[in-house]
Amino acid sequence: MRREVTLRDVAELAGVSSRTVSNVVNGYANVTERTRVRVQRAVEELGYRPNVLARNLAQGRSGQIALVVPYLDTPYFSELLQSVIRVARARGYNVLIDQTDGDAEHERAFIAHGSRRLLFDGVIFSPLGLDQQALADRDPNLPLVVLGERSSDGTFDHVGIDDVAASRQATEHLLDLGRRRLAAIGDQPYATGEAAQLRTRGFREAHEARGLTAREDLIISTPRFNRRDGAQAMARLLDREDPPDAVFCYSDLVALGAIHTLISRGLRVPEDVAVIGYDDIEDGAYSNPTVTTISPDKEMIATTAVERLLLRIGSPLPPPGVELRAPHRLIVRESTAGRAASAVHRGTPPMW
């Protein structure tokens, strides 16, 4: 029978004290990032599972965290979910999952006063229906980490990427190809559409930096970032007298829908119309053509979100909320560079 891995085993492999391992496992802040990474690698290599049951019972905790997202059928969220579960499990926590469908009342129930009822100790939350003010009205005692584009008000942590810079980079890539009739699919000009609005801002800024003006009539709104909306928006663009020669899609699913319409109309991608997506989902790497995309570091987003949440759960006094940005990179594939293209990676460093 295999001997149970102990805290001391992890400490010996990582070359640190047992107290240091305990601090890392419990999410305490008084550990350097280099030491934290070394301990985490030792935890994963040995398969160490902290015995959190007794600790949680003594501290009135459930040993569970909640991950609340708008849609589980969106590949970006399903891929992120897998990473969150893996990281949380390594820290001895289970993950409760909920899909809100962007319903504001459903989302509000998760962060309202008394929402936990001992079911979970904190929430990693990607709101779609709630605006910034609604987040400010939450239970102040609820440990909370927010994903997406609702910036921190100083009482919770926000983890994401720089959407403006990423979208600017995507648009610059199309301009570098010599394309000038650029369209954008995915704008959402309403109160809870911050992510889309930031991508539209990056699209415009890239034009301005080249002394160009973005064609506002080629910026198409969609209710969701899915294949159907991308396909329908692309059809509207192609019905114009002056259709675009390149399209920036605000998700890879939108890009896949747009490509479907282009091919069904007898157009070539990228020869006639270049297409770039966003999110770097697995489907985009295996589509025909493969999809050029902006790739956020989903693993770092998940790891940072879990670690910051556990830090909040374990702290007697909640730490100040911080803004944390994960890196992104441009992955060039066939939908902009053709079949002869090799993958080109250009990225941004993390901003911690």
Token pair belonging to 347: 């990225």
- Which sign does the torsion angle of CA 97, 226, 218, 246 carry? positive
Q: What are phi and psi of 221, to 5 degrees?
A: -85, 150
How far lies 250's CA from each of 81, 147, 205, 255, in Å? 20, 17, 16, 8
Helix-, strand-, coil-residue percentages of the chain, each rounded to 5: 45, 15, 40
User: CA neighbours within 13 Å on the CB side: how many for 58?
Assistant: 6
Token pair in block for residue 335: 């939908």
Separation CA 243–CA 33 (nearest Å): 50
d(CA 200, CA 184): 8
Do 122 and 312 contact (CB within 8 A), yes or no? yes
What is residue 327's predicted lDDT score, i.e. its pLDDT? 95
* The two three-digit tokens of residue 40, written as one number: 């985490």
- pLDDT tens for each residue of the chain, 352 residues long: 467 788 888 888 889 888 888 788 766 657 787 888 888 888 888 888 766 554 554 455 678 999 999 999 899 999 999 999 999 998 889 999 999 988 989 888 888 876 665 588 999 999 988 877 888 888 888 899 999 877 777 788 999 999 999 999 999 999 999 999 999 999 998 877 888 999 999 999 999 999 999 999 999 999 989 999 999 999 999 999 999 999 999 999 999 999 999 999 999 999 999 999 999 999 999 999 999 999 999 999 999 999 999 999 988 787 888 899 999 999 999 999 998 654 455 566 555 5
Q: Tell me the C-alpha distance between 255 and 275, whole Å.
A: 7
Token pair recorded at residue 231: 């396909």
How far is 278 from 203, CA to CA, in rounded Å? 13
Distance CA 293, CA 277 (A): 4
How far apart, in whole angstroms, are the C-alpha atoms of residue 327 and residue 67?
A: 22
Whole-model pTM? 0.80
| Tokens encoding 319 | 């730490």
Q: What pLDDT is attached to residue 287?
A: 96
All domains in the chain, ordered by first residue: 1-50 (1.10.260.40), 54-160+299-321 (3.40.50.2300), 163-296+330-347 (3.40.50.2300)
Paired strand residues for 295: 329
Burial class (CB in 10 A: 0-12, 13-18, 19+), 26: middle
Tokens for 259?
């490509």
CA-to-CA distance for 245 and 273, rounded, in angstroms? 4
Q: What is the pLDDT of residue 110?
A: 83
Q: Are 306 and 147 in contact (CB under 8 A)?
A: no
Tell me the CA distances in angstroms from 44 to 14, 40, 91, 211, 215, one per residue in order: 11, 6, 10, 50, 50
Tokens 């329908």 label which residue? 232
Distance, in Å, from the CA atom of 247 to the CA atom of 258, rounded to the nearest integer, reads 9
Which run of H or of E encompasses 311? helix 298-314
